[in-house]
Amino acid sequence: MKKFVIGFVPAAAAVALSGCGGGGSTGEVIAKFNGEAITKDQYLKQLETMDTILVTLENGQQVQARPTQSLSTQALSKMVERNVVLEAAKNANVLPSQEEVDREKTLRTEINPQFQDQLRAAGYSGEDIDLALKVDLALYKLTVKGQKEKTLEDAQKYVKDNPAQFRQPETATLRWIVVNDPAVRAQVDKMLVNATFGAAAARYSIVPTAKTDNGAFNSGGQPVPRPVPITAALGEELLPQVKKIKEGGTGDWFRFQNNWAKVKVEAKTPAVQITPKPAQLEMIRRDLSRQDARGANDIQDLLLQTLLKAEVNVMPAYLKKNWETLVAALKSRTMGLGDSPTESGPPPEKPKEE
């Protein structure tokens, strides 16, 4: 079975807002530096041409990385992607109505009460949120079209039969200091006698964000660390350290990726069993329905064919060249494509039959 891997692949069961919001190009002033204006045009161009971006790895570590494609090409692909999904849904007579979008908005808010507030704080308008939900619903309806969907009772049974999947692991909130010179360890330890761990991290740590977040691990750009699950995702070097350090404690120096690291665990929370809310059960029901529909509807090929039949006119020369290269690659790989799941992650296992 071959997988369809291109510059853009729709993700199911997730509000893919990339490319939404922001509005068009404008000379609007968004900031001033010593009285000199920084316009929205300049800001958008900077976004388009960034060759490195700050990313958070699965273990919570933040690093600078180079995008596989330019951000301008990725953004254009995402915007065309939305149109492709909606066009395919329209052709299949499963285009979501505004009433369905409103219900979905309520559902997502029941799962996360700050759902809309968080998106609006990030700059998204009500129309942006509606569009993202409409695309997400359209993709789901295309996936299960013509198939018998699972029920909420099926979802409840799945939860009962798979308790481990609904157990929130133990978490830790921590700060860390990473140095590349063994001699610096003594300087850090000396400073820690009378200074906070965060102050020492800001002064000595080689982690790029340490000076602004005081060594906060998984900070998300804030000075306060966010809890991370104590799982294998932390990595074989960091996991055993976090496991053995008690809440409020500071560990010894240990080797970390050819450097030396020290960790302070500020807080820990025990593992807990989660009872899904009704809205979460609905999302589980959809995941189970997607799994059952897998192979019945070749969504990736449907979206590919919809794209190749569409008339897409890209105006700016720097975007036009990249787009034409992408489409040419798609056409050359059209033959031999098999069905493949479009979800952003693996769906849950099929519930065991009684």
Distance, in Å, from the CA atom of 72 to the CA atom of 114, rounded to the nearest integer, reads 29
Question: Which residue type sits at 168?
Answer: Q
- With 70 as the cut, is the pLDDT of residue 333 above it? no
CATH fold, domain 170-270, is Chitinase A; domain 3 (3.10.50)
pLDDT tens track for 97-136: 999 999 999 999 999 999 999 999 988 999 999 999 999 9
- With 80 as the cut, is the pLDDT of residue 353 above it? no
- With 80 as the cut, is the pLDDT of residue 60 above it? no
The answer to whether the beta carbons of residues 203 and 196 sit under 8 Å apart is no
Spell out the alpha helix ranges (H) of the chain.
Answer: 40-49, 71-91, 98-111, 115-121, 126-144, 152-161, 184-192, 197-204, 210-213, 239-244, 278-293, 299-309, 317-332
- pLDDT confidence of residue 27: 78
- pLDDT confidence of residue 26: 60
Distance, in Å, from the CA atom of 159 to the CA atom of 145, rounded to the nearest integer, reads 25
- With 50 as the cut, is the pLDDT of residue 160 above it? yes
Distance, in Å, from the CA atom of 211 to the CA atom of 287, rounded to the nearest integer, reads 42
pLDDT tens track for 196-229: 999 999 999 999 889 999 999 988 778 889 999 9
Confidence of residue 272 (pLDDT cuts 50, 70, 90): very high
- pLDDT confidence of residue 76: 87
pLDDT tens track for 317-328: 888 888 888 888
pLDDT tens track for 83-101: 999 999 999 999 999 999 9
Where are the domains positioned within the chain?
29-158+276-332, 170-270
Percentage of the residues of the chain whose pLDDT score is greater than 90: 60
Mean pLDDT over 166-186 rounds to 95
- pLDDT confidence of residue 339: 38
**If we measure between CA atoms, which residue out of 116, 90, 95, 84 comes closest to residue 15?**
116
How many other C-beta atoms lie within 10 A of the C-beta of residue 5?
9
- pLDDT confidence of residue 336: 37
pLDDT tens track for 185-204: 999 999 999 999 999 999 99
3 state DSSP class of 303: helix
β-bridge pairing 36-39 and 228-229: unpaired
Mean pLDDT over 28-40 rounds to 91
Confidence of residue 3 (pLDDT cuts 50, 70, 90): very low
Distance, in Å, from the CA atom of 280 to the CA atom of 245, rounded to the nearest integer, reads 34
Spell out the alpha helix ranges (H) of 4-125.
Answer: 40-49, 71-91, 98-111, 115-121
Share the mean pLDDT of the chain: 85
